[in-house]
Structure 1
Amino acid sequence: MAKVQDSTPKERYVPNGLKFAFGGLAGMAATCVVQPLDLIKTRMQLSGGGRTSFVVAGEIVAREGFVALYAGLSAGLLRQATYTTTRLGVYNWLFDSYKERHGGTAPGFGIKTALGIAAGSIGAFVGTPAEVALIRMTADGRLPAEQRRNYKNVVDALLRIVREEGVLKLWRGATPTVSRAMVVNAAQLSTYSQAREIFAKRVPDGITLHFCASMVSGLITTIASMPVDIIKTRIQNAAKGESQLVVVTSLLRNEGVLSLWKGFLPYYARLGPHTVLTFIFLEQFNAAYLKYY
């Protein structure tokens, strides 16, 4: 009697290496869209005044030109190529590994949060040098001409930091950077997955679903992560020799606790769409791979 072949279709999957690559490419594509918001957020976090994001944006365009809104783009792309590649790749790998070990059962909210923390901390450490370069390049235009660092691009920034300050300065502010990433990813990756499951019952699958889940995720992530983010920004932009403790105490003493949420609007306006675009691009890359390969 002839042996009957199993007609059950095999589950298709994206190889681990491509999960990392697609994560980085998705983040880089999203950064090209939201880079001006990142620059405005950084300028507001470094400013001692109470100016709105619209005023800051207007001043940048008036003094430095429209192209200045994309200052530091090369550093932003390198940050995504290192940080986002690592964090999304590690998260997806850990997520799939959990499902394999538990008979295809997806992890619950608590496990998702733990996976996000692990992925975020690893990605942040890898991406800290690009983060330092990004903060300095986006902040440069607010300084007097004689005090500007005038980095030509991210490669020039990294080489000059090593040459002028030492290789360890590439990881300046690594502790708050990793702490921020742990908070961001614990909130972002877990709440995105959870919000998507909730909205899926009411919203059809597609860009609308991704948008709703991402904006909810972005709001929660913004509230939770901004204090760590502004401390990280101040430390990474600090002058040579200025200790991290001095930077933090000076911030709280001179500007108050509420300054920890300075730049909330551009931060959220950047994080929400960036999350939307990143996941949309990521899912499109995955879908294209499964369709054609």
Structure 2
Amino acid sequence: MSKKERYIPNALKFAFGGSAGMLATVVVQPLDLIKNRMQLSKGGRSAFAVAGEIVAREGFMALYTGLSAGLLRQATYTTTRLGVYNYLFDSYKETHGGVAPGFGTKTLLGVAAGSVGSFIGTPAEVALIRMTSDGRLPKEQRRNYKNVADALMRIVKEEGVLKLWRGATPTVARAMVVNAAQLGTYSQAREMFQVYIADGVFLHFCASMVSGLITTIASMPVDIIKTKIQSAAKGQNQIEVVTSLIRNEGVLALWKGFLPYYARLGPHTVLTFIFLEQLNSAYLKYTE
């Protein structure tokens, strides 16, 4: 991160983070919907089979079902996590004579930023999961939310306000792992690649690809455990869910569905950081 970036106003750091995430979501929303349908469906169907079924049964635009919830999730979750991370990163440099934090500190900053952002973004996440999974249910069981605002209002009216934070604990735990890996490795990879690659979109792309891959490897076990816990029989605790999964399917089951998971997370990581870097660069260029 260059010295000039320190002077981007804190409010803009939050706004740029959310805007970057929202722009990336517009591109990868179909992948998010396909991933959610695959996680909720039985069997080992491929992403292409699931996508084909959605288009055949619901139409092409159904791939963008839940886009409003996805955008709100980025406006809340990504705005907060990237804004908090950049704020903490710059604060560290200011109190340490301009020296950037080491990898361990970057990881801790990512954990802090992810936990705060995830808690704030959980209501939009609940709406997103429900909206993207609605099409797989029989017509009489569908919620048919009109948009994210309708979803949130109906959840509060029909189930109570606390249901907006359903699954918040495992969601926050997953976000802590994702952000520790994603934000820390992106900063580290960017610094390493800068020795060989000039600052620009290609540098941001390379750093993002490394960050997305490591984030996928690190977060998949937590994501699968989170899904198993949320769908487990009443009374099962986290240890029982994990031991049962490993005993019945083996350790590698913790990374089951690696490719479809990365197909969504990888491009979103790449696009988010590229958009964020371009927004930062544009601000610095036109406010000199």
- Picking from 41, 49, 59, the partner of 1:65 is 59
**Structure 2 counterpart of 1:165, one-letter code:** E
Counterpart contact for 1:192–1:217, Cα < 8 Å = yes
Deviation at 1:292, TM superposition (A): 2.1
Moved more, 33-42 or 221-230: 221-230
Runs of 5+ consecutive residues of structure 1 not aligned to the other structure: 1-8
- Picking from 135, 146, 153, the partner of 2:140 is 146
- Picking from 183, 193, 200, the partner of 2:187 is 193
Deviation at 1:159, TM superposition (A): 0.9
1:20-44 alpha-carbon deviations (Å, 9 max, x no partner) = 0110011000000000111111111
3-state SS, counterpart of residue 43 of structure 2: coil
Counterpart contact for 2:20–2:272, Cα < 8 Å = yes
Counterpart contact for 1:235–1:244, Cα < 8 Å = no
**Structure 2 counterpart of 1:179, one-letter code:** A
Deviation at 1:144, TM superposition (A): 1.2
Rounded to whole Å, the distance in 2 between the matches of 1:171 and 1:110 is 30
Rounded to whole Å, the distance in 2 between the matches of 1:27 and 1:85 is 8
Match of 2:272 in 1: 278
1:88 aligns with 2:82: yes
1:15 aligns with 2:15: no
Counterpart contact for 1:53–1:263, Cα < 8 Å = no
Deviation at 1:171, TM superposition (A): 0.5
Deviation at 1:150, TM superposition (A): 1.0
Q: CA RMSD in A?
A: 2.5
Cα separation, partners in 2 of 1:192 and 1:80, compared to 1, 3 Å: same
Counterpart contact for 1:187–1:221, Cα < 8 Å = yes
Match of 2:68 in 1: 74
Runs of 5+ consecutive residues of structure 2 not aligned to the other structure: none
Rounded to whole Å, the distance in 2 between the matches of 1:231 and 1:147 is 26
1:163 aligns with 2:157: yes
**Structure 2 counterpart of 1:174, one-letter code:** A
**Structure 1 counterpart of 2:42, one-letter code:** G
Q: How many residues are treated as equivalent by the alignment?
A: 282
**Structure 2 counterpart of 1:151, one-letter code:** Y
**Structure 2 counterpart of 1:37, one-letter code:** L
Cα separation, partners in 2 of 1:151 and 1:260, compared to 1, 3 Å: farther
Rounded to whole Å, the distance in 1 between the matches of 2:190 and 2:198 is 11
1:292 aligns with 2:286: yes
- Picking from 168, 172, 197, the partner of 2:166 is 172
1:33 aligns with 2:27: yes
**Structure 2 counterpart of 1:264, one-letter code:** F
Deviation at 1:291, TM superposition (A): 2.0
1:156-197 alpha-carbon deviations (Å, 9 max, x no partner) = 111111111111111011011100110000000011111112
Moved more, 223-232 or 280-289: 223-232
Using the size of structure 2 for normalisation, the TM-score is: 0.90
Deviation at 1:233, TM superposition (A): 4.7
Counterpart contact for 1:42–1:135, Cα < 8 Å = yes
- Picking from 112, 118, 125, the partner of 2:106 is 112
Q: Which runs of 4+ in 1 moved over 3 A?
A: 9-12, 230-236, 242-263
Counterpart contact for 1:36–1:70, Cα < 8 Å = yes
3-state SS, counterpart of residue 203 of structure 1: coil
